[in-house]
């Protein structure tokens, strides 16, 4: 029991020390921030109004640059899309032309085969008639 009490007191003491250290760190950070702000104000090359005006001008310039870049990219995409659509239309037209040519060739081939079959049938018929005589 005594040992447990001693351990609890030791834990309590370490907790208090950590809290003090955290407080000192926070105070140090606050002082450093205040010193930084003070030095920044004292050493600033321009007044606050001039700095805000410069920031505003830079923002406008950047916004204009972004808008111009967006417009250029949008135009490039539009042109690329139009070009791709034209190529697709050309390919479709070419495929349709080739399809029609194949149809014609098949039809012509079918007609030639019909004629060959009729000629062959006539020749067979003639030969059979001649052999029967």
Rounded average pLDDT per 10-residue block, the chain, 133 residues = 62 80 88 84 76 85 92 93 92 93 91 90 86 72
% of the chain residues with pLDDT over 70: 92
DSSP state of 45: S
Alpha carbons 74 and 122: distance in angstroms, whole number: 71
pTM of the model: 0.44
Alpha carbons 37 and 21: distance in angstroms, whole number: 24
Q: Whole-angstrom distance between the N-terminal and C-terminal Cα of the chain?
A: 139
CB contact at 8 A, 15 and 23: no
38 CA to centre of own chain: 46
């Amino acid at each position: 029991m005594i040992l447990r009490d001693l351990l609890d007191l030791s834990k309590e003491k370490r907790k208090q020390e950590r809290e003090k250290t955290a407080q000192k760190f926070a105070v140090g950070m606050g002082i450093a921030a205040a010193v930084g702000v003070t030095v920044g104000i004292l050493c600033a090359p321009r007044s606050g109004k001039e700095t805000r005006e410069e920031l505003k001008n830079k923002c406008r310039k950047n916004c204009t640059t972004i808008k111009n870049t967006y417009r250029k990219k949008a135009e490039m995409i539009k042109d690329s899309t139009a070009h791709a659509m034209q190529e697709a239309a050309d390919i479709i037209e070419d495929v349709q032309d080739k399809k029609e040519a194949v149809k014609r060739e098949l039809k012509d081939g079918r007609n030639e085969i019909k004629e060959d079959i009729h000629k062959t049938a006539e020749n067979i018929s003639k030969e059979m008639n001649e052999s029967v005589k």
